[in-house]
Amino acid sequence: MVTITSILTGLLALSSSTASSAIRRRSISPPEGCPIPTWTVSYFHWYNGSHSLDCIHNQDDINAKGCLCGSGWCEPDPATCNGSMVNVCWTGMPNYQPWGYGPPQTLDIQFADGLTCHDEYIGYRIHDIGHGESNCGYADRGLGRIVAFYGSSDLDSSIGHMDYTLGDGHALKCDNGSSITYSGSVDFALTCTHDADFNATCTAPVFDVPVLSYEWVS
């Protein structure tokens, strides 16, 4: 936990300092005879409610108990709970909007080439929205593609960061028959609006993730 937080703080500090100096927005030139992909984010939408359940960064939520009654949640009062009092962060709960909580957090990222990533908050943490890997489909992840997003929804405007790893399973063929794969990253302008309850909706204008490195795949 402490380690994760300090790594993230480091990453955020890094992305804000690189933002003020040179942001590298141009892709590398690929080795001769090799194709190079273009990664354009055509749609970016992140909803993070002020009372969305957060079982990894919010200690109050981690400690909280709710009243699980049938297939839903009732008022978390042990005296009136007609089901059972359980930790709201336990895995396998019927939904992730316990009594008193707002709608769950969601993240949608769409690329111009058709790749679609969708995260919807679930109690166990494969995809920690705003803190790394996003969910672009299990099959895709099996091929090694990783789209990671880092950012904060707390500010009206800030710098988001995205890392893109194409993965060996998506390697491209060069003219001479060698296989090549790529990765890239970018800092981008993130704009968040907050309603009267401080629910945040964050968006970004269309942006490219430049390709910054390649690797041969054997």
Ligand X SMILES: *[C@@H]1O[C@H](CO)[C@@H](O)[C@H](O)[C@H]1NC(C)=O
Q: Name the site residues for ligand X (rule: CB under 6 A).
A: 31-33, 48-51, 69-70, 74, 82-83, 102-103, 130, 152-154, 174, 176-178, 197-199
Structure tokens at 104: 């769950």
With respect to ligand X, which residue has the nearer C-beta, 32 or 139? 32
Nearer to ligand X, 154 or 156 (CB): 154
Nearest to 113 by CA among 23, 27, 209, 34: 209
Q: CA-CA distances (angstroms) from residue 124 to 31, 47, 54, 71, 180?
A: 41, 18, 10, 19, 34
User: Residue 6 or residue 40: which is nearer to ligand X going by CB?
Assistant: 6
3 state DSSP class of 169: helix
Burial track 21-36 (b if 16+ CB lie within 10 A, e otherwise): eeeeeebeebeeebee
Of residues 37 and 140, the one with the C-beta less far from ligand X: 37
